[in-house]
Structure formats: structure tokens, C-alpha cells
Amino acid sequence: MVQRTYEQAEKRLEEIVNELQKGGKTLDESVKLFEEGALLSDFCLQALKNAEQKITRLGETNADEAQV
């Protein structure tokens, strides 16, 4: 899956659910949408469950982990 933010993923998932609920899709389209939606919901769940807070100091590059 392309690199995307949590926000984008959630937004797209919502679109997909709305699209599917609206109906009028071919079976092929529905299957594709469902697969994309399933990946997105997995991505969101994983992101929320596995995220670890990252802290840097202003002026440092992101690679340097700040000691707080």
C-alpha cells in the first residue's frame, strides 16, 4: 500500500464504506473496494495499536531521539 497517513486512510475507508452502501457497483468493483477497505482498516488498526510516541527536540533532526 502507498505511504499514507492515518487520517487519509480513515477518510478513504469511510468513502469506500459509503460507496459500497450506496450500491450500484459491479461485483468486480465491489470486490476491489472491499479488498482495499479491508487493507485500510487493517492499516488503521495496526497504526493505532503499534504506534509508539516519538519525541524530538526543536532544532534536532528527526533521527535524534530526545531524552525527556
Partner 1 sequence: MNLPSITVSQLNTYVKKLFDTDLMFASVIISGEISNYSPHYKTGHLYFTLKDASSSLKAVMFAGQARRLRFQPENGMHVFAMGRVSVFERDGVYQLYVNELIPDGEGALTAAFRQLKQRLEEKGLFDPAHKKALPAYPKKIGIITSPGSAALQDMLNILGRRYPLAEIVLAGVTVQGQTAPLEMIGALRAFNERTDVDVLILGRGGGSAEDLWCFNDEGLAWAVYESHIPVISAVGHETDFTICDFVSDVRAPTPSAAAELAVPDAADLLRRIKTLSDGLNTAYMQKINAVRSQLRMLFAQRDFSDPGRFFVPDKLKIESLRLQLAAQTEKTMQQKRLQLEKNVTALEKLNPLRVLLRGYAMVETDAGVVQSVDALHIGETVWISLHDGSLTAQIREIKRRENDGPTHL
Residues that bind partner 1 (CB under 8 A): 5-7, 10, 13-14, 16-17, 20-21, 23, 25, 27, 30, 33-34, 37-38, 41, 44-45, 47-49, 51-59, 62, 66, 68
CA distance 63 to 34: 37
Q: Are 33 and 25 in contact (CB under 8 A)?
A: yes
CA distance 33 to 59: 43
Sign (positive/negative) of CA torsion 17, 20, 23, 25?
positive
Q: How far is the CB of 7 from partner 1 (least distance, A)?
A: 4
Q: How far is the CB of 8 from partner 1 (least distance, A)?
A: 9
Q: How far is the CB of 3 from partner 1 (least distance, A)?
A: 12
